[in-house]
Every structure is written in structure tokens, then in C-alpha cells.
Amino acid sequence: MKFFRFESIYQREGWLSPAFVGITPTGTIAYMNSKPPTGVAEHTVEKIAGHALAGFVNAHSHAFQYAMAGLAEHHAQAHEADTFWTWREKMYKTALRISPESLEAIATQLYAEMLRHGYTHVAEFHYLHHDEEGKPYKQVGEMAHRLLKASEKAGIRITLLPTWYAQGGFGELPADRQRRFISSSLEEYLQLWHQTNKLASRFNHADVGFCIHSLRAVSEEQLKQLTLLHAQEYPHLPFHIHIAEQQKEVEDCQKYHGKRPLEYLASLTKLTPAYQLVHATHLTHKEVEIIAKSGAQVVLCPSTEANLGDGFFSLQDFQKSGGNWAIGTDSHIGLNPFEELRWLDYGQRLKTHLRKVYQHTQEPDSAKIAYEQAIFSGRRAVGRLDLKNFFEVGKPFDALIIRDDVPLVAQTAPTHRLATILYSSDASWHLGTWVHGQWQILEQQHKHKTTILPQFREATNEIRG
């Protein structure tokens, strides 16, 4: 076992300072105390000049979209309107240009960047399944395998969510440009799912969940089939779905099914804490209450939702009902978890003209409320239900280390340290990131950057032509 001395580590009770942490060769915490371990020579304890925060879970990612981050801001015509739906056409074009090799290269670079920003676990909402013609690869889970390899090389934990996408819109056949996403039947989807599950079991830090792209992407019968199978055989696995991102899809759902999205979903299946409702942007009070009562969570992706002009989430109402929310980076236009929490907060402040929008009956510190939601709901979003504190003896050491020589950090008392980090930091404050007890990033550099970067360059050159 190796011992480390951190300036402090952040726990539910507050900062443990200094923090002596013993980590086993397999990356598990075996000792954690403000006092040094007895019988261990002082010179063998490695000093880390920073404050440790539990690593974030990125609860929503489409890795291939990183290949177009920033490219959709340049418009063909100055006067042309641009919306989520026109952005989606650009995204489809990108999806059609991605090979298994380029997906692996892009995802590896993306996951390395997630780690640099403090994410240590990613939920990959994966729907780019088939080849450029729309035919299944020889190994049907080829693209899933590439994502697993990318996560392994980058050193991030992954919950892979093979996504069922069967139709183009409510009651519509798939469009030709959606051909790489499609599994026409439950049988086809399960073939993909089982193979992905098998592949994931060969990796040390990977698992799987269930996923339906959106209510518009499957028929009512298909939605019933998969939710029933999940309830009967895999109730403990997370189940992700895009729920109500755009006003238009709410209206289309109302027209086709006579119900708003959440009401429709809840009428077909019993929502449970396993359900992760991504982009629950447009909710009525009744829908908020249904979610909160069921224990299902929402996953918010504030920088992408702002970038795509989705709308404001009903945070105030949702918090009052006791609902839980996690964060994700979706299209990866932003990759900093603290920025996601600020975007969410500031959007609400601008809307309500109030400053304290993160609400909790017993907690006056906005940063603590936001951070606890992101960490604990994030873990629930990937089915990690065993952790009650940020760090625990017997559990892996996954952490983001904040430098102690940042002037503002050095001058701030522990009571305000978390808020200073959450509201004022940028990634230059990060000393590094650990996953399963090892530095994956140190001083902004990934341990495998010399091979990750050239492959990323090659892949983006190929895709961008």
C-alpha cells in the first residue's frame, strides 16, 4: 500500500485536513485520516500539493459529436435562422463520416479531456451502431467496442448505454441519414445489447445500462417491450432516455399520443429510480411531481442545452418537489463540470432575478447543494448506489485535485473553499485527476498523450475532409 498526504479532501462533513490516504495497488482506499498512519515512516508518505474532490460523473455523452464541437457556429448565410433541428442536420452529416477507427480516436481524446476537467466516469449514450451504409458490422457491437477501448486507454470509467433507435419520428420510418442508428426490432436491439454487455465484461472499469433514444425514436409497442424487459430482468440497471428537450417534440408527442412526453412515458411503464430522463427541459408541474415521486432522476446538460437553444429547466419547481438531477456534457461544446453547474445556476438567476437558486431546506451553501447533486445523482445515473460519502474506505480513489498554490484558493478559508472552486475556477486550477488510485492526468498532461493526440488529429482531418 502507498500513502499520500493531501492538503485536504472534501467529505460530506466538510474538509478533512490534512488528509492521509492509503491506497492499495488495485486503487482502493484502505486508510483515510487526518493523522498519519502509525508505523509508516514519514519520508515514504508522498505529499500532494492540493485539495481532493471526488471525481464527477458525466451522465450524458455522445462521443462522436466531439468531432464537430464549435463547427456549427459558422452559418452558410448570415441571415439564415439556425435551430436545434438545423444543427441536427449538421450532426447527422458528421455521424455519416465516422469510421470505427476515427470513433475510437475521437472518444479517446474526448475522454482524456473529460478527465482533465474532473470527470472520472462517463455514461456513453451510444447510437452510432452501424457502418456508413447502415449495415451491421461483422461484429455487431464494433462501435461499442471502440468506445470501450477508448475509455480504457484514457483511463475513465464508462457505463455504456447501447441505444435503441427504431424510427425517424412519431409514427415515421427512419430517414436515410439516420441509417447508422437503426435497430428495427427488439430482437435486433437485444443482439446489440447482449454483445455490448459481453464486450464490456472484458474491461475492468466498464458496465452497461439500457437506453431508448427518445420517445419519438420507438413505437408505443417497442417502448412497452423494452421497459417491461428491464423491469422484469434488469431493474437494477440504469435506463436512459432523451425526454423533452425541444418544444417541438413535446408538441409532436401531444399530437401523436395525446399526452405530453413524461405523462406518456409514465402511462406505459412504472418509473423507478433507475430511470434517467435526459433534457427534461419542458415539464409541467404535474410532470415534475410524477418524476420526483417515482425517484427517477433528470440529467441536465446546461452548456449543450444553452448552445442548442433548448429552454430553461424548471429547477425551482423540481427542487421543491424533492427531485434529483445529474449533469452531462452531451455534445461536448463545454467540458467543465463546474461550468455546467454555473450555467445551470446563472440561467435560473437571469430568469428569476434571484441569486440563491440552488435550494435545500437544511443547506445554506449553494456550492454544496450543487456539488452534492452532481456527485450523488451522477453516481445513481450510472448505477453506483454503494457510495454514501464522497470518499470511503474500501472504495476506489477517484479524484480531482485542486492546486493549493492558486492565490484565491490559498487565501480562502475552508468554509468558502468549495464555493470559490465551483464559482471561480477554470481548468488551470486542476493539478490532476486520479481514477482507481492512479494519476491519469498530471499538470494538464495525459499519461498517454503522445499516442492519443496524433490519432485524434488524423481522425478529425479525415472527418472534416
Catalytic residues: 279, 330
- Site for Zn ion (CB under 5 A): how many residues? 1
Q: Quickly count: other Cβ atoms within 10 Å of residue 237's Cβ.
A: 17
Segment near Zn ion (CB under 5 A), from 173-181, 282-290, 329-337, 435-443? 329-337
Q: Considering the complex, what minimum distance in angstroms separates the CB of residue 106 from Zn ion?
A: 16
Q: Considering the complex, what minimum distance in angstroms separates the CB of residue 49 from Zn ion?
A: 37
Instruction: In whole angstroms, give the CA distance from residue 426 to residue 117.
Output: 9
**Residue 123 or 266 with smaller CB distance to Zn ion:** 123
Q: Considering the complex, what minimum distance in angstroms separates the CB of residue 203 from Zn ion?
A: 23
**Residue 84 or 203 with smaller CB distance to Zn ion:** 84
**Residue 307 or 420 with smaller CB distance to Zn ion:** 307
Q: Considering the complex, what minimum distance in angstroms separates the CB of residue 54 from Zn ion?
A: 24
Residue from 7, 249, 330, 339 touching Zn ion (CB under 5 A): that is 330
Instruction: In whole angstroms, give the CA distance from residue 261 to residue 258.
Output: 9
Q: Which residue is nearest to Zn ion (CB)?
A: 330
Segment near Zn ion (CB under 5 A), from 114-122, 229-237, 307-315, 326-334? 326-334
Q: Considering the complex, what minimum distance in angstroms separates the CB of residue 62 from Zn ion?
A: 5
Site membership for Zn ion, residue 305 (CB under 5 A) = no
Taking CA 211 as the corner, what is the angle to CA 209 and CA 212, rounded to the nearest 5 degrees? Answer: 170
**Residue 144 or 400 with smaller CB distance to Zn ion:** 144
Check if the beta carbon of residue 367 is closer than 8 Å to that of residue 345.
no
Of 332, 346, 345, nearest to 303 by C-alpha is 332
**Residue 124 or 330 with smaller CB distance to Zn ion:** 330
Segment near Zn ion (CB under 5 A), from 193-201, 259-267, 323-331, 394-402? 323-331
Q: Considering the complex, what minimum distance in angstroms separates the CB of residue 400 from Zn ion?
A: 24
Q: Which residues contact 178 (CB under 8 A, 6 or more apart)?
A: 92, 165, 168
Q: Considering the complex, what minimum distance in angstroms separates the CB of residue 1 from Zn ion?
A: 41
Instruction: In whole angstroms, give the CA distance from residue 77 to residue 134.
Output: 31
Q: Considering the complex, what minimum distance in angstroms separates the CB of residue 89 from Zn ion?
A: 16
Segment near Zn ion (CB under 5 A), from 73-81, 139-147, 328-336, 369-377? 328-336
Subset of 194-223 contacting Zn ion (CB under 5 A): none
Q: Considering the complex, what minimum distance in angstroms separates the CB of residue 279 from Zn ion?
A: 7
Segment near Zn ion (CB under 5 A), from 162-170, 324-332, 387-395, 401-409? 324-332
Check if the beta carbon of residue 259 is closer than 8 Å to that of residue 287.
no
**Residue 31 or 312 with smaller CB distance to Zn ion:** 312
Site string for Zn ion, 125-154 (x = CB under 5 A): ------------------------------
Subset of 77-136 contacting Zn ion (CB under 5 A): none
Segment near Zn ion (CB under 5 A), from 72-80, 202-210, 327-335, 386-394? 327-335
SS (H, E, C) the chain: CEEEEEEEEEECCEEECCEEEEECCCCEEEEEECCCCCCCCHHHCEEEEEEEEECEEEEEECHHHHHHCCHHHCCCCCCCCCCHHHHHHHHHHHHCCCCHHHHHHHHHHHHHHHHHHCEEEEEEEECCCCCCCCCCCCCCCHHHHHHHHHHHHHCCEEEEEECECCCCECCECCCHHHHHHCCCCHHHHHHHHHHHHHHHCCCCCEEECEEEEEHHHCCHHHHHHHHHHHHHHCCCCCEEEECCCCHHHHHHHHHHHCCCHHHHHHHHCCCCCCEEEECCCCCCHHHHHHHHHHCCEEEECHHHHHHCCCCCCCHHHHHHCCCEEEECCECCCCCCHHHHHHHHHHHHHHHHCCCCCCCCCCCCCHHHHHHHHHHHHHHHHCCCCCCCCCCCCCCECCEEEEECCCHHHHCCCHHHHHHHHHHHCCHHHEEEEEECCEEEEECCEECCHHHHHHHHHHHHHHHHC
**Residue 199 or 217 with smaller CB distance to Zn ion:** 217
**Residue 21 or 144 with smaller CB distance to Zn ion:** 144
List contacts with Zn ion (CB under 5 A): 330
